């Protein structure tokens, strides 16, 4: 009952706003043609990764909010030994990601078009996730909107049980204030240990691709902070 109340609390204050852009012809066609192949319909029942990917014992990476999906597709292509599930609410991103999966002949990635809170609560089995990725979530930079940020204790209480022992939460943001909040929340949970040598942030790992957005930020002198915490 307590967990249901926590999930209800997260649902009441959304961490995203649906700003649906117009679907391109290519995105619309990709959804129509490719969703039956790589899409996973939301359901109030646990998935079985071994059945979903038709192979046993492959490590599972889940990414929340993959945007247009380019970096997620690249990561999946670079790590064929892993399974990947991407969760996104914005329809244009779903279409773009499906097209990229097809164009790069990716076989180890599935995507879910739904609210990540409900997906984690109802579809992801406990102890099944090796890596949880949350890259550049909406920073809700105005102080009065900080309550909308996804990274808070209720979020950790939802996702940590889904991690395997030794599983990793990897976050990245280009807002220093949000990085500080992430560090505070993650460091305050006794179930996690910081993988940073100095107890703060880690260098960007090679497996996280640089996006065009991030490269532009670097040219403008903007910082990016990566955090990696392991489940004890």
Contact 216, 194 (CB under 8 A): no
- The residues that are catalytic are 138
Count Cβ neighbours within 10 Å for each residue of 133-170 and write b for 16 or more, e otherwise: bbbbbbbbeeeeeeebbbbbebbbbbbbbbbeeebbbb
CA angle centred on 99, ends 92 and 69, rounded to 5°: 60
3-state secondary structure of 25: helix
Q: Which helix (H) or strand (E) holds 18?
A: none
Joined together, the tokens standing for residue 194 give 């910081």
Q: Where are the beta strands (DSSP E) in 106-219?
A: 109-113, 129-135, 163-173, 192-194
CA 104 – CA 115 distance, rounded (Å)? 26
Rounded distance between C-alpha atoms, residue 142 and residue 120, angstroms:
27
């Amino acid at each position: 009952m307590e967990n249901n109340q926590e999930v209800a609390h997260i649902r009441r204050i959304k961490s995203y706003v649906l700003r649906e852009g117009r679907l391109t012809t290519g995105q619309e066609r990709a959804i129509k043609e490719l969703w039956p192949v790589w899409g996973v319909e939301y359901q109030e029942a646990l998935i079985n990764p071994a059945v979903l990917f038709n192979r046993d014992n492959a490590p599972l990476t889940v990414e929340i909010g993959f945007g247009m999906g380019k970096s997620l597709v690249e990561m999946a292509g670079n790590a064929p030994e892993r399974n990947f599930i991407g969760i996104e609410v914005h329809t244009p991103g779903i279409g773009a990601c499906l097209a990229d999966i097809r164009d790069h002949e990716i076989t180890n990635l599935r995507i879910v078009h739904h609210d990540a809170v409900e997906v984690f609560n109802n579809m992801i089995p406990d102890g099944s996730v090796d890596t949880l990725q949350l890259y550049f979530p909406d920073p809700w930079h105005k102080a009065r909107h900080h309550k909308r940020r996804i990274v808070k204790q209720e979020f950790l209480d939802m996702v940590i049980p889904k991690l395997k022992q030794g599983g990793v939460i990897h976050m990245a943001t280009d807002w220093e204030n949000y990085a500080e909040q992430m560090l505070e929340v993650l460091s305050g949970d006794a179930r996690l240990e910081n993988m940073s040598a100095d107890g703060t942030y880690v260098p960007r790992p090679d497996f996280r691709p640089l996006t065009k957005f991030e490269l532009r930020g670097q040219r403008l002198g903007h910082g990016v902070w990566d955090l990696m915490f392991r489940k004890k």
